[in-house]
Amino acid sequence: MTPTLTSDIAQFCQTFQLREQLRNRHFLITGASGLIGSTLVRCLMALNQSFQLGLKLTCPVRDIAKATAQLHLNDETICLLPYDLSQNDLHHFPQQVDYIVHLASPTTSKYFIEHPVETFRSIVEGTTNLLEYARQTKTERFLYASSMEMYGTILNDSQSLTEDVQGYINPLAARSSYSMGKRAAECLCYNYFNEYHIPVSIARLAQTFGAGVSSSDHRVYAQFARCAISNQDIVLHTRGTLSHPYCYTTDAVSALLYILLRGEAGRAYNVANPDTYISIRDLALLVRSSFAPKIKVKIEMEEGHGYSPTTKHRLDTSEIEKIGWKPQYGLSDMFLRLISHLRQSENTLNQT
């Protein structure tokens, strides 16, 4: 881990208020090799080591070697299992776990466009398989990580989006495989709660970033950060009017655990720092002014990148705030820590 990521994990351990509720619990966490999943695993392992909580973590992953290298595992409290979300093969899963946190999902627009069938099926079928597992094993709590993209196209941001609002999603578009898949998975979660009484809650995550982001990540925040580091102009291929809030990685982990431990079954919760609501263009200008004032922000229109439709997702976070959660990191701090992490990662690679 980079020094910035190590600092984030230590800060999480010092400030997370619900740690005693985790004592002697067994987690099953999918997506442990992703950004949020790996941060969650690291946070739980650090809590376990610092406070002797007696945690057990079982993490089904597609590539065990990759996950082992990424997480630098040498902790007997965590067990990695080979698992493909599209396969209904759970015979090697534990016979009982306390908490399921389902984070695994495709995450990049390019993949959604090139593999829409696999995107939709992995979201819906993977969630179905885990809900069935929870039903058979009588799991105490199930948390599904959804996305603000499930809200679809909304152009009026005069009021914040509460969890009962929906916008339009075009079902006849390849890019919709992700957002439609997330909606379908949420529907499954609710109906497993309604019909089978599975205690499932849903986290609708804003775009999340921070220390831990891969140096090869191609999402907007990572591209902007790399431009700031290398003093290269930021080039936008859209008008940059798409607007939404963000969330820092350890803030997102804290939110997931608050929803898991305090959230109401059968409900969805928006997860974001509402103060970070901003357009893509203004985000680029913020990065330039704060970290690389000599670079320029240019617009060079280009089709075929698979960007999400222009929309305005000003998320209302009052529901998650009611259960005690608040974000700690603002947008400038988020980019400061992301840039520090990427620089440290680059220095490490250069030294090897």
Per residue in 224-267, pLDDT tens? 999 999 999 999 988 999 999 999 999 999 999 999 999 999 99
Q: How many residues are present in the chain?
A: 352
Banded pLDDT at 66 (limits 50, 70, 90) = confident
Taken in order 65, 70, 76, 79, the sign of the CA dihedral is: negative
DSSP state of 161: B
- Model-level pTM? 0.95
Three-state DSSP class for 339?
A: helix
From residue 296, alpha-carbon distances to 193, 221, 231, 241, 278 in Å are 50, 16, 9, 18, 19
Residue 89 has pLDDT above 90, yes or no: no
Q: Tell me the per-residue pLDDT of 123-137, one tens digit each, with 9 for 90 and over.
A: 999 999 999 999 999
Of the candidates 104, 193, 94, 187, the one whose C-alpha atom is nearest the C-alpha of residue 141 is 193
Residue 81 has pLDDT above 80, yes or no: yes
Kindly state the tokens that stand for 290.
């704060």
Residue ranges of domains in the chain, CATH in brackets? 3-209+247-274+315-328 (3.40.50.720)
